[in-house]
Amino acid sequence: MKPILSYSSPDDRPLNTYLGLPHVDEPMGYVSSGSTEACDVSEGSFDHEDLASSLISLNDNDLIDHALPDILDEDLRIFEFDFGSYAANQLTAVEDRIAPLTEEVVEPPPTPTLCPENVDDRVVTTKKTAQSKRKSSLKRPRRPRPRNRGNRSIHLWEFLKEMLNNSEENKSYIKWISKREGIFQLVNSSGVAKLWGQRKNRKNMTYEKMSRALRYYYEKDILERVPNARLIYKFGGKTRVIATENGDDSLSDSSEH
DNA sequence: TCCCCGTTTCCTGCTT
DNA sequence: AAAGCAGGAAACGGGG
């Protein structure tokens, strides 16, 4: 179950303005989603500072990996946040202490809200106090939401990215060779495959099978071949920015490929 | 219900 | 010889 975050920006200022985050110049055509959260800033009512401090607090408490949003739809001001480093228990804890919301309910929650996403994909909108509610004149006509991708199962490359983002924790399984170039190595290939199998509920997953899925990525430009290298892969044009964002290149001096 | 996508499974042959 | 790589083919499961 993935939480969805709704956010309203009454004066059309982009969310990242309030979060002190860099602006993402162009909408991502290819956004990781198995481990992301949607942020719809087109409607609803929210106090910017509340949301900002909430996200920053989540970030400070390691509940989110980083608070850099991907813009999904600039007009609608829909962003996605990477919650890839959520530990399962942390996610549960967040969901437990944050009240679920519906479109109809006007009861004001005390804080900016993460809430479980509904299976029927209805729009979830956060509400706050009456005085901070958006005036109707400021409301934009509601356009259809882009395909909801926040609840679908994770892709393999997203899973690998997730592991790489927790490099310290997973260094015995997978590591960056050059983060800047998006090159990584499967240190324990069968171990990674096993974890992948656990994630996808495929207990018979092996590296042989997982690597077939990785090879399909070559033709989709999700991965690029690294010639004459074993267990070394490189994120391709479609994924490199996403996979390597928010990181330094401190591990990039290896020359083993 | 059908179709598409992203795998998963199995396979053969090749390379390191 | 073992492990990994390459890629064809078919099946599968989830989502639209």
Q: What is the pLDDT of residue A236?
A: 86
Spanning CA of A31 to C1' of C13, the rounded length in angstroms is 22
- Tell me the domain boundaries of chain A: 154-245
Interval A188-209: pLDDT, tens: 999 999 999 999 989 899 999 9
What value does the mean pLDDT take over residues A124-130?
26
Angle between helical axes of A189-199 and A207-219 (0-180°, round to 10) = 80
Q: Is A177 a residue whose pLDDT tops 90?
A: yes
Q: Does domain A154-245 fall into CATH 1.10.10.10?
A: yes
Interval A24-58: pLDDT, tens: 332 222 222 233 333 333 333 333 344 444 444 44
Sheet of A69-73: strand order equals: A69-73, A78-82, A36-40, A3-6, A114-116
- Cβ-based contacts with strand B at under 7 Å: A 155-157, 196-197, 200, 202, 204-205, 208-210, 212-213, 216-217, 220, 228, 230
